[in-house]
Amino acid sequence: MPSWIKRQVYPERIFNLPPERVIAFARLTLTAFALYATILDRPHDIYDAQVTYIVASSYFAFAILSFCIVVARPPKRWEQLLAHTVDISCVCLLMHFNDGPNSPYFIFFTFILLSASLRWGWRGAIQTAILLVLIFITFVLLMGGRSAPTQFGDLNRTVFRPAYLVVAGVMLAYVSAFKERGRKQLAKLAAWPGPDHGQGLQVPIRSALAHAAHIMGAPRVLIVWEPFEEPFRDVALWSSAGLEYSREPPDRFGTLVAEHLVRKTFVVPLGGGTADLPAVEGETASDLINEDLRKAFSIQSTISAPFFLPVCRGRVFLLDMEANDQNDLLLAELIAARIGVDLEHYWLRNELEAAAGSRERERLARDLHDGVLQGLAAANIHLSLSSGRAEAGIAEQLSQTRQLLSEEQQRIRAFVESSRSRAKALAEQVDLAAEVDKLLKHLRQLWACPVHITVEPPDLQVSAETARNLRHFLAEATSNAVRHGRASQIEVAIKAAPDRLSLTVVDNGLGFKDLHGSYSGKEMSARSLGPVSLRTRAEAMGGALTLQTSKSGTKIHVEVPL
């Protein structure tokens, strides 16, 4: 295994150890040194020395036994309680026979506090701290009269040590509670509701914004985003009163935030920035957020995070709250990315439904033309022949029926022509180079990465449907190269053959994780490797995808029928 992989794996193994193993190892280390210290520096009283040695030896033997048990299997709850009781009992005995409240074995109290915190969180830390303070006070009361006249240093320790236990217990309880809070927030994030499909909402993200507010404890959540190639900007504000949605001109609110923060997550607390959180010390909301946006939504304090996706980009503002630490900023980034993915899924779902609807309209139009229209025409002819041989009253009724059939024929024919015109629009030939150039201009600005393209022949014409599919494929490939491969340059080549079109995307990034070499589309599908979204897009276009990847870059090649 390469040395750099070992350097990454070993720390991960250490920090992924179960708490009981850490506690058992710490106990074994401390008791070994305690036994060694007992041998080197025995109490002056022979009886105390003998008892201390016996207790230290027994405690060391218990440490060895408990270490072997936790390495073999996870301990049960009653075993944890038993180990905790043995720790406290042995330390109390060692302190009792070694100067009581002034004993050097007081250091084991810290180990006991940490063990309780690791096992049972903030409740264990608080309860153990109270118990240890009571034990220490008992030592002072019971053994104070047995000692020689109190020295200033002894008195100082007698006062300081219980205060230390209280402070340590409270701080460990806070750390445990903070850890528990983070775990609950991640659990809530994992229970993300997703888009509100089928609820009749204009933009189905009400549940997502409400869930984000619940996770972060934000009274209001504002999101501003821009769908790619659309001449507008969408705005949604969630609060306890409900969801407010509006569509604004693309230039309203400018860049939303200051230029140097466009791609960053930051916090704006009341009264200005804080030194321990990024981006904003000495600056207020008026310095960092577009004035029109700030006034429109009364923004005074916020945590704000951007999201950038091939389909859209935007920014989330968690309003009327402040970040407590860096974890809140990281959580805000995850929430922004998740909301962005919801919007992307919503857009792609609409696109798929529109495509399916278009195909269904075409099929229905063919069926109507080949079936219903022909039947109506035949019925009209039969009615015309019958009316010539019928009586006057009946002939008039037949004439009215023929008129109704003619009107129905016209309506159905109009529907058929409309469907054909839509299909014709999708099949209409467009200039591929011009279509792709518009996309690449957006991608260069979105990812801050140079993207160069060559199209052969330069005046290549393809159907509007093919151009649309290629644009989406390029947007996804560019996103993967920059976000996951950290590419700083991308080359795109499109070349036409008599019946096929080839697209090649080459980047100078880090390649795909755990992949090296060349892979065909079938191989990637069978082994679930590589970029799933690109593979499925290529298959949807009737094409074949190949992938070449290494640590020096990636080459993606796809061929689709013209």
| pLDDT score of 388 | 58
For residue 178, name the pLDDT band (cuts at 50, 70, 90).
Answer: confident
**Would the pLDDT of 207 be above 70?**
yes
In this prediction, residues 124-138 reach a mean pLDDT of 92
Q: Are strands 266-268 and 302-308 parallel, antiparallel or unpaired?
A: antiparallel
Percent of the chain whose pLDDT exceeds 90: 17
The DSSP result for 31-94, as a single string, is: HHHHHHHHHHS--SSHHHHHHHHHHHHHHHHHHHHHHHHHHHSPPPHHHHHHHHHHHHHHHHHH
For residue 528, name the pLDDT band (cuts at 50, 70, 90).
Answer: confident
> In terms of pLDDT, which residue wins out, 76 or 344?
76
> Six-digit token pair at 11?
């720390």
SS3 560: strand
Tell me the pLDDT tens digit for each residue of 379-393. 556 556 555 555 555
In this prediction, residues 201-220 reach a mean pLDDT of 85
The CA-atom distances, in angstroms, between 425 and each of 97, 270, 463, 540 are: 94, 54, 9, 20
SS3 520: strand
Q: Name the DSSP class of 252.
A: T
Closest-CA residue to 52 (of 108, 102, 92, 101): 92
CB atoms within 10 A of CB 496: 16
> Do residues 157 and 140 make contact, with C-beta atoms less than 8 angstroms apart?
no
For residue 88, name the pLDDT band (cuts at 50, 70, 90).
Answer: very high
Let me know the angle formed at the C-alpha of 382 by 378 and 387, rounded to the nearest 5 degrees: 145
**Would the pLDDT of 26 be above 80?**
yes
> In terms of pLDDT, which residue wins out, 339 or 468?
339
> Do residues 479 and 447 make contact, with C-beta atoms less than 8 angstroms apart?
yes
Angle, nearest 10°, between helix axes 392-427 and 326-367?
A: 140
**Would the pLDDT of 550 be above 60?**
yes
> Six-digit token pair at 492?
């795109």
| pLDDT score of 384 | 61
Phi, psi of 451, rounded to the nearest 5 degrees: -125, 120
**Would the pLDDT of 322 be above 70?**
yes
Burial environment of residue 196 by CB neighbours within 10 A (0 to 12, 13 to 18, 19 or more): middle
For residue 37, name the pLDDT band (cuts at 50, 70, 90).
Answer: confident
| pLDDT score of 113 | 94
Q: What is the mean pLDDT of the chain?
A: 79
For residue 57, name the pLDDT band (cuts at 50, 70, 90).
Answer: very high
User: Cα(209)–Cα(169) distance, rounded to whole angstroms?
Assistant: 37
SS3 458: coil
> In terms of pLDDT, which residue wins out, 25 or 203?
25
Tell me the pLDDT tens digit for each residue of 390-447. 555 565 655 656 565 565 556 556 555 555 555 554 456 778 888 888 888 877 877 7
| pLDDT score of 4 | 39
- Catalogue all structural domains in the chain, each as residue range(s) with its CATH number: 3-188 (no CATH), 193-427 (3.30.450.40), 430-561 (3.30.565.10)
CB atoms within 10 A of CB 276: 9
Phi, psi of 244, rounded to the nearest 5 degrees: -110, 130
**Would the pLDDT of 5 be above 50?**
no
Let me know the angle formed at the C-alpha of 410 by 409 and 414, rounded to the nearest 5 degrees: 115
For residue 6, name the pLDDT band (cuts at 50, 70, 90).
Answer: very low
> In terms of pLDDT, which residue wins out, 208 or 199?
208
For residue 133, name the pLDDT band (cuts at 50, 70, 90).
Answer: very high
User: Cα(296)–Cα(33) distance, rounded to whole angstroms?
Assistant: 66
In this prediction, residues 211-218 reach a mean pLDDT of 89
Phi, psi of 209, rounded to the nearest 5 degrees: -70, -40
| pLDDT score of 485 | 81
User: Cα(522)–Cα(506) distance, rounded to whole angstroms?
Assistant: 21
In this prediction, residues 59-84 reach a mean pLDDT of 92
| pLDDT score of 188 | 84
> Six-digit token pair at 59?
């405690």
> Do residues 203 and 346 make contact, with C-beta atoms less than 8 angstroms apart?
yes
CB atoms within 10 A of CB 59: 22
Most confident of 305-319, 465-479, 528-542: 305-319
CB atoms within 10 A of CB 560: 21
User: Cα(45)–Cα(275) distance, rounded to whole angstroms?
Assistant: 56
> Do residues 345 and 195 make contact, with C-beta atoms less than 8 angstroms apart?
yes
**Would the pLDDT of 314 be above 50?**
yes
Alpha helices in 97-233 (DSSP H): 107-143, 152-190, 206-216
| pLDDT score of 8 | 45
For residue 375, name the pLDDT band (cuts at 50, 70, 90).
Answer: low
Closest-CA residue to 311 (of 350, 353, 340): 340
> Do residues 203 and 236 make contact, with C-beta atoms less than 8 angstroms apart?
yes
* Secondary element (H or E) of residue 323: none
| pLDDT score of 426 | 47
